[in-house]
Chain A
Amino acid sequence: MEPTQLRILAVGRNAEIMTVMHRLLNAPDNWTGITVTADEAARAAFEKEAFDIVLICAGVSTEEEAVLTAYFKQHSPAVIVKRHYGGGSGLLKNEILYALENR
């Protein structure tokens, strides 16, 4: 079951792609999201508000992903942290629905 107004944080290094991601995350009625390009900004956003899902996007290394995931899980054990592939709309909805069903 999809919760209403799912809140999503996306962190990736490609600013142009993150602009597109921001538009995609805020297009559906039942999702809203913010995008950041720096890990520090991701942590700051996470401290300010609660997110249901964090998407790790292109440019973030697996080492950086591990550090971020540990941080997010420590502060909010229920949060879903997931690597986003594809950079656009093709897989985004599927990734989110599948993650919610298998949380």
Chain B
Amino acid sequence: MAKTVLHKAATRGHADHGWLDSHHTFSFANYYNPERMQFGALRVLNDDIVAGGRGFDAHPHDNMEIISIPLEGALEHKDNLGNTVITKAGEIQVMSTGTGVFHSEYNANTDIPAEFLQIWLFPNQLNVTPRYDQVTVDINNRPNQLQQLISPDPNGKGTWLYQNAWFHMGRFDKGGETTYEIKKQGNGVYFFVIKGKFIINGQELDNRDGYGVEDTSQFTIVSQEEDAQLLVIDVPIFS
């Protein structure tokens, strides 16, 4: 019997700081809900909009795998590893923060907001040497398919991180259908609707809904809208 958790978009934590409008699927910063602490190794899923020219000053991170997925606009990232990079929609950024890294993140444009997902996973190794990576992902030319963004394999498609986790993303036409098979026995899968509506193994999901499923190895994904987008996060389950 599958164990599921449905996080409707409207039930997420919300913080409006003026320059930053953030929705938290899981407890984060001043949003605390003991029922929303994690989905296995997935600890943070923030849906952020940063005003033009604004952003996060230099701040530290450690022992977390941090994935940033710009959806609209672009982010300028600077870190003490020597990276100064602009990441735009269609690119994915991964930081293994390990023993510690300081970075800043700003909206690279002054006139339009930057919209992005920031996702944190617990690592499967503590205190690794920090690393930064960025890859380009083109989901537009492969409709109705899931494209691998991240895996644990440094030689795998996309980029990699220190966790037995896989990220896939896809853009779908209305009625577009695909299947997803879990990548590691014992993992769970967290679906996040970036745009549109989907039905996944019979569960209806709207824009920005999240749906976690354990004890199921195969999923049927059907898009209910044109130009719908889905993120699939396959992670080890623990509490």
- Chain A residues engaging chain B, CB cutoff 8 angstroms: 12-14, 16-17, 20, 57-62, 85-91, 93-94, 97-98, 101
Contacts and interface: CB of A to CB of B under 8 A. Distances in A.
A14 B126 CA distance: 13
B25 to A, nearest CB: 13
B43 interface: yes
A56 B97 CA distance: 16
B100 A87 contact: yes
B43 A58 contact: no
Interface string B25-52: 0011110101001000001100000000
Contacts of B62: 12, 14, 17, 57-59, 85-87
A98 B127 CA distance: 23
Contacts of A13: 99
B33 to A, nearest CB: 9
Given A85-B62, A101-B34, 13 more contacts: A16-B102, A17-B62, A57-B62, A86-B61, A86-B120, A87-B97, A89-B29, A90-B29, A90-B61, A90-B120, A91-B43, A94-B37, A98-B32
A17 B60 contact: yes
B63 interface: yes
Contact of A85 (B29, B60, B64, B99): B64
B3 interface: no
A98 B63 contact: no
